[in-house]
Structure 1
Amino acid sequence: MTTDVYDKAKRSAVMAAVKSKDTTPEKALRRILTSLGARYRLHRKDLPGNPDLVMPGRKLAFFVHGCFWHGHDCARGSRVPKNNRDYWLAKVARNVARDARSQAALEAAGWRVEVVWECAMKDEAALTARLEGVLDQAASVTASDASPAST
């Protein structure tokens, strides 16, 4: 069994510094959406899961997930620390279950949910193209909802 390179106090300080808001990937997503002309609200506490970005008029919610913390199937997300392995497996499993509950609750309330993974930020052009499609689809759905029913 290997030991942690930090003592308990230092490890606690390191873990406490892990942010849940205004992360680098979240800021990158905001920058891309803004460049596409999208307007959004941040961290709506009144919605299930407190989505990172919300477009209320389009009923579109975005979650920016860190690959490790939310159990993505990429190389970083599938890595499990050697120390305290059982704790980390359970921790990530709880996060994944919570994410699924939040997404299901939002969808049941009529919201479209988009998850943007941290690793997707590596290919900004592909992410921008994906987001353009998401915004176009959300705009067309919103437009069809607003149009009067034909008889």
Structure 2
Amino acid sequence: MRLNRSRDTRPELALRRAVFARGLRYRVAYEPLKGVRRSADIAFTKVKVAVFLDGCFWRGCPTHYTTPKANAEFWAKKVKGNQARDRETDALFADAGWVVIRVWEHEDVMETVDRIIETVTERRALMANSY
């Protein structure tokens, strides 16, 4: 399992390239919460938008996930734990004023980029009006 990357995966690189090409700048593997070891795959720090790109296998995608036959009980427990941690992460980020965008690795990159741009633009407008 050491060979499984936690960052810079193909889907993540494709998403980052597409976001960059559309003119947005971001931080990678950013940990915005002090004392909490959770990092966003892509973070827009000024507007507090965090993007998490979830792998279908590791996060239990409802469309693509199937429990492996070998060691099925372990993997089912592992994926359930990942999903629970993701819900906790979403809540922690929301409590700190962040907007969380969760993306499955199989989702269309350009549709995802459009959703990210829309969220970042809305947050910029909201934050500009709050000053």
Give the counterpart of 2:63 among 64, 69, 74.
Answer: 74
Distance 1:132 1:41 in 2: 18
**Compared with structure 1, are the counterparts of its residues 82 and 106 closer, same or farther at alpha carbon in structure 2 (3 Å cutoff)?**
same
**TM-score using structure 2 length:** 0.88
Give the counterpart of 1:104 among 86, 91, 103.
Answer: 91
**Which one has a bigger Cα radius of gyration?**
1
- Equivalent positions of 1:10-25 (< 5 A) are 15-25=1-11
Q: Residue 30 of structure 1 corresponds to which residue in structure 2? A: 16
User: What stretches of structure 1 of length at least 5 have no aligned partner?
Assistant: 1-14
User: What stretches of structure 2 of length at least 5 have no aligned partner?
Assistant: none
Q: Deviations over 1:66-120 (max 9, x none)?
A: 0010011012x2x110011100000001100111101110011111111111111
Contact 2:27 2:43 (8 Å CA) reproduced: yes
Contact 1:36 1:132 (8 Å CA) reproduced: no
Larger RCO (alpha carbons 8 Å, 6+ apart): 2
Segments of 4+ in structure 1 off by > 6 A?
Answer: none
Sequence identity percentage: 35
Give the counterpart of 1:136 among 111, 118, 129.
Answer: 118
The alpha carbon displacement at 1:135 in A equals: 1.6
**More strand per residue: 1 or 2?**
2
| Equivalent residue pairs, number | 128
RMSD across aligned C-alpha pairs, in angstroms? 1.7
